[in-house]
Amino acid sequence: MIGKVVRGNDVGGLLRYLYGPGRANEHTNPHVVAAWDEGVIADCAPGRDPRLKRLTALLEQPLAALDRRPSPSVWHCPLRTAPGDRKLSDAEWADVAAEVLDQTGLAPRGDAGACRWVAVRHADDHIHLAVTLARQDGRRARTSHDYVRLGAACRTVEERYGLTITPARDRTAPKRPTRAETEKAARQGRSETTRQRLRREVRRAALSSADLVDFVEQLQETGVHVRLRYSELDPTIVTGYAVAEGVERTADGGLVWFGGAKLAPQLSLPRLEKGWAATGHSEVPGGRATSARPVRSRAAGSLRTAAAAARHLENGSLVLAAAAVVTAGSRTGARSR
């Protein structure tokens, strides 16, 4: 079960979108499968006029009772089953909605003073939760740690209904391709998006590299462009990187860059260096891991100097070339530890 949290202020606009045709006419048979009040479910049953203005007014009543309207005031959560999962019934989706709202604390089961909400279904594989962030007992709703709690609720319903188990909500799952990225890849006749291809290449290079130099070199051998980021306090220290491929271009013809952490949290430079260091690699000044190979470890200071000299150059291969020259020159004067 894949869930996402979106916050906003226009519950009426959200309902109109959910009951509309969708961006690509993908919405079919929109109807409420669950709500804070059973009467709302009957009023918004399939084939009936949902009277969205009235529903909006009912959802906003607790907000109007507050001294000051919160911002954001609307909690929106799309919930989707994974590809290949069976089709859930309306009753099962209603239980999923109730479980999510119970575990997030927005509408605990049996709490008559909880937030008002509706769950709208307009496709076989997903629903949308729309919640106004004011409790009916006059208190403001609390949304702290809602993303993590949502993940726990998703795991509960996955096990309950035999659905695909998704990664834990520890903020380490890679970002899914957006619809725009997927459609662009399809127009280009490609089976995967640029983000997916770069994530795969970066992960492969990271697993087979001993240090940052090897990592960048392997990426460039596959045609991936690499740009290093340097510390503002110490311009000789590399603090991050970004990758791009020649196929993806901006409107003005420039490369589209993806930072390592944007591909997946595990692919950020600090996480990669932690992995390289865990395999026995040594450390360079500033805490940056370098290769376990003795000559590169001894030449770390010169390598940093070469990188600093080349840091303003756009072509990452020049950085590697400078580093290679320094490393090669150090082999005659450095002995293995």
Bridge partners of 35? 118
CB 8 within 8 A of CB 75: no
Going by pLDDT thresholds of 50, 70 and 90, the confidence category of residue 196 is confident
Look at residue 259 in the predicted model and tell me its pLDDT.
93
| Phi, psi dihedrals of residue 289, rounded to the nearest 5° | -75, 140
Q: Of 97, 127, 161, at which residue does a domain stop? A: 161
Q: Are residues 103 and 223 in the same domain?
A: no
Q: Are residues 157 and 231 in the same domain?
A: no
The answer to whether residue 336 sits within a structural domain is no
Least Cα distance to 1 among 81, 59, 109 occurs for 81
Q: What is the pLDDT of residues 11-46, one digit of tens each?
A: 999 999 999 988 877 888 899 999 999 888 888 877
Going by pLDDT thresholds of 50, 70 and 90, the confidence category of residue 280 is low
Q: What is the pLDDT of residues 89-137, one digit of tens each?
A: 999 999 999 999 999 999 999 999 999 999 999 999 999 999 999 999 9
Q: Are residues 208 and 151 in the same domain?
A: no
Q: Of 134, 161, 188, at which residue does a domain stop? A: 161
Q: Are residues 81 and 157 in the same domain?
A: yes
Look at residue 171 in the predicted model and tell me its pLDDT.
54
CB 213 within 8 A of CB 296: yes
The answer to whether residue 264 sits within a structural domain is yes
Q: Of 133, 161, 189, at which residue does a domain stop? A: 161
Q: Are residues 202 and 323 in the same domain?
A: yes
Provide the residue type at 67 as one letter. Answer: D
Least Cα distance to 62 among 11, 97, 5 occurs for 11
The answer to whether residue 69 sits within a structural domain is yes
Measuring CA to CA, how many Å separate 125 from each of 6, 156, 176, 300? 19, 17, 17, 53
The answer to whether residue 251 sits within a structural domain is yes
The answer to whether residue 169 sits within a structural domain is no
Q: Are residues 203 and 139 in the same domain?
A: no
Burial class (CB in 10 A: 0-12, 13-18, 19+), 208: exposed
What is the number of structural domains in the chain?
Answer: 2
The answer to whether residue 62 sits within a structural domain is yes
**Using omega within 30 degrees of 0 as the cis cutoff, is the peptide bond preceding 72 cis?**
yes
Give the whole-angstrom CA distance, residue 106 versus residue 100: 9
Say which residue, 188 or 313, is predicted with more confidence: 188
Q: Are residues 191 and 326 in the same domain?
A: yes
Going by pLDDT thresholds of 50, 70 and 90, the confidence category of residue 314 is very low
Q: Are residues 195 and 320 in the same domain?
A: yes
Least Cα distance to 197 among 224, 170, 221, 164 occurs for 224
- The angle, 0 to 180 degrees and rounded to 10, between the axes of the packed helices 316-330 and 212-221 is 130
| Angle, CA of 207, 211 and 216, to the nearest 5° | 80
Q: Are residues 126 and 183 in the same domain?
A: no
The answer to whether residue 210 sits within a structural domain is yes
Q: Are residues 148 and 197 in the same domain?
A: no
Give the whole-angstrom CA distance, residue 315 versus residue 309: 13
Q: Are residues 15 and 147 in the same domain?
A: yes
Q: Are residues 155 and 12 in the same domain?
A: yes
Look at residue 299 in the predicted model and tell me its pLDDT.
33
Contacts of 271 by beta carbon, 8 Å cutoff, 6+ apart? 265
DSSP per residue over 260-323, as a string?
Answer: HHHH-GGGSHHHHHHHHHHTT--EETTTEE--SSHHHHHTHHHHHHHHHHTTT-S-HHHHHHHH
The answer to whether residue 205 sits within a structural domain is yes
Q: Which residue has the tokens 């360079």?
A: 284
> Containing domain of residue 156, as a range?
2-161
CB 81 within 8 A of CB 88: yes
Give the up-direction half-sphere exposure of residue 84: CA atoms within 13 A in the CB hemisphere.
5
Pairing mode, strands 258-259 and 74-80: unpaired
